Amino acid sequence: MTKKRQRKLKSEETLRRHVLISTIRPRIDLSMRDASGPNPEPVSDCGLELRGTMTEPVRDVQDVTLNLWVDRNYRVGKNRPASVGFITQIRPAVGVIAPCRPVDFEYLWSLALSGQLTHAYLHFTKPRYRSASVLSMAFSNQPEE
């Protein structure tokens, strides 16, 4: 009788990077839902694009772009480990996208517009096929320790 080999599940390798934010681009989109209908209503979406440089490269790339926006229906998905965002590309710059709860985005927006948003910290799974899960992010006016 042959023994079946049990595959060992590898715990995913994670990476941590500090980011020095150099450019902040706030945006707000205003539109009307059902503009020609009987009950039009205004709709707005806010977002931030942060560009910067990581202190250590990921696959020889140090530039990073973080796109954050308000998600009024923010929910934790079924994937585990749960993530706060995703890396969607590695080249020409590491691209990160992340929805935020309204209260968190308001604080982030105020840091950005007051000039206090200068550093970010990312903890993410090792990129595979040009994408990865971002397990945590932190933003401040000083580097995280």
Band of the pLDDT at 108, cuts 50, 70, 90? very high
- Reduce the DSSP state of residue 45 to 3 states and report it: strand
Task: Write down the pLDDT at residue 135.
Answer: 93
With vertex at residue 86, the alpha carbon angle to CA 13 and CA 80, rounded to the nearest 5 degrees, is 60
In a domain, 9, yes or no: no
In a domain, 10, yes or no: no
Task: Write down the pLDDT at residue 4.
Answer: 58
In a domain, 145, yes or no: no
In a domain, 2, yes or no: no
In a domain, 7, yes or no: no
pLDDT tens per residue, range 27-78: 988 989 888 888 888 888 889 999 999 999 998 999 999 999 998 887 777 7
In a domain, 132, yes or no: yes
Q: What pTM was computed for the model?
A: 0.81
- Which structural domain range is residue 51 located in? 15-140
More confident residue, 56 or 8: 56
Q: What share of the chain is helix, strand, coil (3-state, %, to 5)?
A: 10, 55, 40
Query: How many structural domains comprise the chain?
Result: 1
In a domain, 99, yes or no: yes
In a domain, 40, yes or no: yes
The pLDDT of 67-94, averaged and rounded, is 86
State the burial class of residue 77 (Cβ atoms within 10 Å of its Cβ: 0-12, 13-18, 19+). exposed
pLDDT at 11 over 70: no
What gap in Å lies between CA 40 and CA 77, rounded to an integer? Answer: 31
